[in-house]
Amino acid sequence: MFTTAPLFAGLPGGMELAVILLIAVLLFGANKIPKLARSTGQAMGEFQKGRQELEQEIDEMKDPDNADTEASSVDADADTTSKNE
């Protein structure tokens, strides 16, 4: 009886991406697009980092015996990352 139409028919193709890019350039200006892309990438990286930390905490809650070994490896990774920056 009732049919629902999908909100998105699929991934946008070449013409759709060109229109989106044109609108972005008109809204933000050509000079601000790289800065916007960079800040979006940094935000995505922070989000993924937070998600991984949350998943580790959930895993630790599920299996507290394994948490000690994972926590020490995470601390070692954090030390290495902070030294590289």
pTM above 0.85, yes or no: no
**C-alpha span between 37 and 26 (Å, rounded):** 15
pLDDT of 50: 95
pLDDT of 30: 83
C-alpha to C-alpha distances, 81 to 10, 70, 78, nearest whole angstrom:
38, 17, 5
Amino acid at 20: I
pLDDT in tens, 22-68: 898 888 888 888 888 899 999 999 999 999 999 999 988 888 776 55
Residue spans of the domains in the chain: they are: 29-76
Q: Answer for the pair 67, 60: CB distance below 8 angstroms, yes or no.
A: yes
